[in-house]
Amino acid sequence: MIKKSFVLIAVFLVVVILGFLYFKNNNLSSSDSASSGDQTKRFNNCSEDQLIINEEQLKELSTGGPVSHNIYRLNSQDGLNFSAENNLLLSSASVPDAVKTSDGRTLLYFVSGVSTAHGIWVAEVEDSGLVEVLDCLSFDGQAEEGATDPNVSLMSDGSLRLVYLSNFGKQKNNRVIKSAVSEDGINFSVEDNLIQPAYVSDPTETMLKDGSFLLAAPSIGDQLDFYVSLDGRDFSTKRSSLKIDGGIFGDLITMPDGTVRFYVGGESLRMFQSTDEGISWTEQKIFVGQQSVSQHGIGMPSIFVADNGDLDVFYISSDKIK
């Protein structure tokens, strides 16, 4: 009788232990699933899956298209002598432009080189160099694949003003440079059509010392055209043109003394300066350390003024896989 009781107790204990282990394993599996689900980033305007390079695009890496563009950064204390960090910030990303927001964040706008994610995206760059992609931009509530070539400025009211090329991928005579504004840096309200010449791309804009706006955009061949506006909406007045051999894609910046600089990419970085608000331009000598220049040069530079007054240059290098 006693032996039978011990057997029953043993069986009972085995059942209890097996039941506990079953519950524990299933509970851990549920927790793991929930945790992995929480780690899946959910964008509001676009899907994170769109940024994944598929097999077709892996083949394109050898062709040098936007999917092979990578974003890096140069630094300068005086705007004349530059050195490189040589840290990759974003891969398969092109046409960068950075801005400091009113709350001190550094936002980096770029065009995705992944074919399933064309359009303008934004990432936040932390002081440590860590880059977190936030979302693709929306325009009046919708993402626009034909939006490209972002140029973003912080306005006096704390909002962000975006000048960009719209209708990219369509017939060239349908392309137009537009402006849009945003409070959060992600969702923009479209303002106006600024200019619509026959050939146009890669706009860059700066506010002059008198409060007017100077906008530059490459046109035919190696020519860069400058337009001026009193209100940032009517750019019908063409101020000047500049022919630059070896590259015309770059960024405008107004210095504290009122001079205007245009930094342009190519085999290396170059700089043109105007002391009469964009009427005439002269090239100024600058130095970029040889270790800063990859075999593919410095493409589409964007000028960013850091908190300490340094100038950072975000740029692309086309690192082809052979």
The pTM of this model reads 0.81
- CA 284 from centre of chain: 27
Nearest CA to 170 among 142, 195, 213, 200?
200
Q: How far is CA 314 from CA 35, 58, 190, in A?
A: 35, 25, 26
- Is pLDDT above 90 for 162? yes
Q: Indicate the Cα dihedral angle 222, 228, 229, 232, nearest 10°.
A: 40
Average pLDDT over residues 285-307: 78
Across 35-54, b (16+ Cβ under 10 Å) vs e yields eeeeeeeebebbeeebbebe
Residues linked to residue 303 through DSSP beta bridges, in sequence order = 313
Nearest CA to 45 among 130, 147, 149?
147
pLDDT recorded at residue 99:
96
- Is pLDDT above 80 for 158? yes
| Terminal CA-CA length for the chain | 81
DSSP letters along 22-50, please? HHHHHHHHHHHHHHHHHHS---SSS-GGG
- Is pLDDT above 50 for 215? yes
For residue 302 the two structure tokens come to: 């964007």
Average pLDDT over residues 258-266: 93
In the chain, % of residues over pLDDT 90? 48
Helix (H) or strand (E) holding 99: strand 93-100
- Residue 252 to residue 273: CA distance in whole angstroms: 10
Q: What is the pLDDT of residues 224-252, one digit of tens each?
A: 999 999 999 999 899 999 998 877 789 99
Return the higher-pLDDT residue of 32 and 205: 205
For residue 116 the two structure tokens come to: 């399933």
pLDDT recorded at residue 59:
54
How high is the mean pLDDT of the chain?
80
Average pLDDT over residues 163-177: 76
In the chain, the amino acid numbered 301 is: P
Return the higher-pLDDT residue of 89 and 11: 89
Q: How far is CA 28 from CA 24, 56, 254, in A?
A: 6, 38, 58
